[in-house]
Structure 1
Amino acid sequence: MRFQNIQSRRHSLKYQMLIILLSAVVPYAIRLLFISQDQPSLNGLHLTLAAGLLGGVLSVFAIRNIEQYPGVESVSSVLSLTSLIYCGLVVVFLIGRIDYVRGVLIGNYLLCVGLLFAEQFSGSQRRQLRIAIVESKSAKPFQAPNIEWIIVSDPDTLIENIDALTVDLRADLPEAWERRITNIALAGIPVYHIKHLRESVTGMVELEHLAETSYGTLSPPYLYILLKRAIDMIVAAIALILFCPVMLAVALIVRLDSPGPAIFRQKRIGFRGHPFIVRKFRTMQVAQADGDSRSAAMTRTDDVRITRVGAFLRKSRLDELPQLINILRGEMSLIGPRPEAAVLSAWYEDEIPLYRYRHIVMPGVTGWAQVNQGHVTNVEDVKAKLHYDFYYIKHLSPWIDMLIALRTVLTMISGHGAR
């Protein structure tokens, strides 16, 4: 198994070298077609090409040092490491007052991030790992399609051909096990804390106690939330202007397709538990006023109420466009836990402990649960969805937001999770 993974790493290195070349050369070549032949501009362009190649090499080197860690963290590290490296290149250019072509470097960065992310995401789906686990009450194998578990209970057991060892590093282990784990780590075999490994592989946090959250507090980093809010406002304003013709066309098609208003309004629970009215393009037949409110708020698989146009709008996520108005009103973010209908939220709060904690951050148009699980309504599935929400809250950062944005594009193309 380890030999297979070594071969896989060598195979991925070939793709990564090709990515470095493509991401640096393509923006350079495009700009070269339009640049004047004066020497200063050419020098700046050539230096930008060299910086792009260097940034790509450094990014691949950094990624390959952590890519053995399975799951979300390995993939999301592409965004954080590559962004930091290219920011460092910009700082060098500015401090050294070195001439460079900004548009080419930005294009190089975006291509590098996108292609490396796709390569890492694809590789993480294919990579098979053989992981030994020191089984205990707090460390047990969990369901993961790419992991073969080797259960060990005796520190003297011979463990061969494994990619990693996982154990509850916070448990009081016998001295024999502590010595054996130390020797395994010294031999160059990764040793993972079981809880950390489970979170990275599943993308979920099983939050039984509020004290288990990160940052040493129940509140997420509000400095980033303020920055996120500013970005939301700018992007939403620009998107609203750009998509205004599309929204008018969709509104007209919805009205022509079935009787009723073009915009659907629903009371949902938002930031800190405050209710607000969410706006979407109507995708269903107008509900009867005397129906059960809880049932009416649920969307089931192959729901007969969904209109012909509505099915397309849901799959493409175009029905969410009016929520740009909610963002400008300060009621929603581009990325965050999806706001739940008030009637369903009240039900889930009665059935699921700590459900209200998901309101600690602004609800979003798209979120971590949506790109991993899709739309759900029954209580058991909502519990699983809640673990995704807690993972997002715990790891709230620019990097997970960028990861969600990239995966949302893939979701829009595939239509995953739509009902």
Structure 2
Amino acid sequence: MAQHFWQYLSVRIIVGWLIVCILPAVVLFWGYIIADDILITQVNSIVASSLALMLSLIGLERLTQFPGQKSMVTVLPTLLSVGLIVGIVILVFRLPYSVYYLSASAVLALLFCFVSQVYLRAVTQATIGYVPIGRCQSLLDIEDVRWVELTPCFELANNQRLPFHAVVADLADKGLSAEWEQLLAQTALQGTPVYNVLQVRESLTGRLPIKHLYENNLGSLLPSQSYLLVKRLADIAFILISLPIVLPVALLTALAIKWEDRHSDSAVLFKQRRVGQGGKLFTMYKFRSMIATAEANGSQMATDADLRVTKFGCFIRKTRLDELPQFINVLKGEMSLIGPRPEQLDFVKQFNETIPFYRYRHIVKPGISGWAQVMHGYASDEDETKVKLEHDFFYIKNFSLTLDLLIVIKTIQTMVTGFGAR
């Protein structure tokens, strides 16, 4: 199936450049253009606007490659981040610029990117043909995809692709006959990609299920050592830069917790032993959001409308303010800002026995926020933990700066909406 022209990044960059960069330049600088007297201020402004637009569209292209990320939520943070970077460069090098032009260009860029993403989402719904054998039936519950069931006698026109973006089959199923295999081979030769069911499920759901060694390459779960170093330096830099904002918020949160329990001697901080990278234990810090006797009967998973959560505790759990003390764990090197959530030792021992390959999630440092948190939220039982584990494996396999930036954006969205809080 041929791609819609708007799906090509180069097309969006060219159209966007004409609308966002050239149109305001023609309107505001027309007199200078006619007189052939373009100023360096105007040149700098057009170059800065062009660079910002190109980086924004490339960033949006990268971010929306991940499952479920066609949302408009990524547009504003991406534009603000790129605009901040370009603005810093202009100020550091003291380049002259036109405030009117850059303001008009910024408004047009915001409108163009929103409209572009809406239209892109409308024209990119995938049409996938599937072989109705084995685990392919389990894919039909995935939304935003048009599924077309294939039959063994479907015909392929010579040198023409099928009217699908892709064809999916359970290549490991014993029911896949030689006739099916020949048809799939011919489909691939004529230009329509053929994928295994596990690849499609991973790319559409953001989850990487691992139940058998032969189904996935566990070597892909080894994170890049160079990016681990970059990630560590970025964690420290972010915390140090954000301290002027975080410290007052943390102080007010601590005072509010103390005031709510002013008739008791309950501690403000909640400390608990958690399992970190490589299975090592460490003490994790949080602002206390539950009553002091919440775990008097042992470790328990949080549930919806948990009666152990205090009134103010409900607020800080929804806004994730209870996680602020974990900045200490990050500075100590026990955690990262982004990664799988650290789990309690009792639960880890239980899940190691009942969930295949659970211990592989400890291959990276645990994080304050992560892919599983923003995609699924808290887990209240073992079944939900299995789903979160599949999200964790997806994160580890796709361990990258782009995915971390997307998680940061979705974390901010989570703090605003309270998604997944319990």
Bucket of the pairwise TM-score, normalised by the shorter protein: 0.7 to 0.9
Question: Once the two structures are superposed, what CA deviation does each residue of 1:351-372 show, in whole Å capped at 9, x if it has no partner?
Answer: 2121111000010000111111
Counting only pairs closer than 5 Å after superposition, residues 187-202 of structure 1 correspond to structure 2 as 191-202=194-205
Of the structure 1 ranges 255-264 and 321-330, higher mean CA displacement relative to structure 2 is found in 255-264
Identity of aligned residues (%): 31
Q: Partner of 1:32 in structure 2?
A: none
Relative to structure 1, the CA distance from residue 302 to residue 169 in structure 2 (aligned partners, 3 Å threshold; closer, same or farther) is closer
Q: Partner of 2:35 in structure 1?
A: none
Q: Partner of 2:67 in structure 1?
A: 71
Relative to structure 1, the CA distance from residue 301 to residue 416 in structure 2 (aligned partners, 3 Å threshold; closer, same or farther) is same
TM-score calculated relative to the size of structure 1: 0.74
Find the partner of 1:355 among 358, 373, 381. Answer: 358
Query: In the alignment, is the contact (CA less than 8 A) between 2:16 and 2:53 conserved in 1?
Result: no
Q: What is the deviation of 1:410?
A: 1.1
Query: In the alignment, is the contact (CA less than 8 A) between 1:373 and 1:417 conserved in 2?
Result: yes
TM-score calculated relative to the size of structure 2: 0.74
Q: Superposition RMSD on alpha carbons, in Å?
A: 4.8
Find the partner of 2:298 among 274, 288, 293. Answer: 293
Query: In the alignment, is the contact (CA less than 8 A) between 1:164 and 1:192 conserved in 2?
Result: no
Letter in 2 for 1:362: K
Relative to structure 1, the CA distance from residue 161 to residue 211 in structure 2 (aligned partners, 3 Å threshold; closer, same or farther) is closer
Query: In the alignment, is the contact (CA less than 8 A) between 2:40 and 2:96 conserved in 1?
Result: no
Query: In the alignment, is the contact (CA less than 8 A) between 2:156 and 2:162 conserved in 1?
Result: no
Counting only pairs closer than 5 Å after superposition, residues 120-135 of structure 1 correspond to structure 2 as 120=117, 124=121, 128-135=125-132
Find the partner of 2:275 among 265, 269, 276. Answer: 269
Q: What is the deviation of 1:227?
A: 0.7
Find the partner of 2:376 among 354, 364, 373. Answer: 373
Q: What is the deviation of 1:300?
A: 1.3
Q: What is the deviation of 1:55?
A: 5.3
1:48 aligns with 2:48: yes
Relative to structure 1, the CA distance from residue 246 to residue 17 in structure 2 (aligned partners, 3 Å threshold; closer, same or farther) is farther
Find the partner of 1:137 among 134, 137, 148. Answer: 134
SS in 2 for 1:174: helix
Question: Once the two structures are superposed, what CA deviation does each residue of 1:118-159 show, in whole Å capped at 9, x if it has no partner?
Answer: 964996599654321123336444121222322213143589
Of the structure 1 ranges 320-329 and 162-171, higher mean CA displacement relative to structure 2 is found in 162-171
Q: Provide the rounded CA distance (Å) in 1 between the counterparts of 2:403 and 2:327.
A: 21
Relative to structure 1, the CA distance from residue 119 to residue 316 in structure 2 (aligned partners, 3 Å threshold; closer, same or farther) is farther
Query: In the alignment, is the contact (CA less than 8 A) between 1:141 and 1:149 conserved in 2?
Result: no
Q: Provide the rounded CA distance (Å) in 2 between the counterparts of 1:212 and 1:375.
A: 27
Relative to structure 1, the CA distance from residue 119 to residue 292 in structure 2 (aligned partners, 3 Å threshold; closer, same or farther) is farther
1:385 aligns with 2:388: yes
SS in 2 for 1:305: coil
Q: Partner of 1:328 in structure 2?
A: 331
Query: In the alignment, is the contact (CA less than 8 A) between 1:25 and 1:49 conserved in 2?
Result: no
1:178 aligns with 2:185: yes
Q: Provide the rounded CA distance (Å) in 2 between the counterparts of 1:250 and 1:399.
A: 32
SS in 2 for 1:417: coil
Letter in 1 for 2:67: G
Relative to structure 1, the CA distance from residue 264 to residue 207 in structure 2 (aligned partners, 3 Å threshold; closer, same or farther) is same
Q: Provide the rounded CA distance (Å) in 1 between the counterparts of 2:19 and 2:371.
A: 32
Query: In the alignment, is the contact (CA less than 8 A) between 2:136 and 2:170 conserved in 1?
Result: no
Q: What is the deviation of 1:248?
A: 0.8
Q: Partner of 1:35 in structure 2?
A: none
SS in 2 for 1:243: helix
Counting only pairs closer than 5 Å after superposition, residues 226-305 of structure 1 correspond to structure 2 as 226-258=229-261, 259=264, 260-287=266-293, 291-295=296-300, 298-305=301-308
Relative to structure 1, the CA distance from residue 74 to residue 303 in structure 2 (aligned partners, 3 Å threshold; closer, same or farther) is closer
Relative to structure 1, the CA distance from residue 25 to residue 230 in structure 2 (aligned partners, 3 Å threshold; closer, same or farther) is farther
User: Which ranges of structure 1 fall in alignment gaps of 5 or more residues?
Assistant: 27-37
Relative to structure 1, the CA distance from residue 288 to residue 136 in structure 2 (aligned partners, 3 Å threshold; closer, same or farther) is closer
Query: In the alignment, is the contact (CA less than 8 A) between 1:332 and 1:362 conserved in 2?
Result: yes
Q: Provide the rounded CA distance (Å) in 2 between the counterparts of 1:25 and 1:214.
A: 50
Find the partner of 1:397 among 392, 396, 400. Answer: 400
Q: Provide the rounded CA distance (Å) in 2 between the counterparts of 1:359 and 1:118.
A: 41
Q: Partner of 1:167 in structure 2?
A: 168
SS in 1 for 2:299: helix
Q: What is the deviation of 1:307?
A: 0.8
User: Which ranges of structure 2 fall in alignment gaps of 5 or more residues?
Assistant: 25-37, 173-177
Q: What is the deviation of 1:379?
A: 0.7
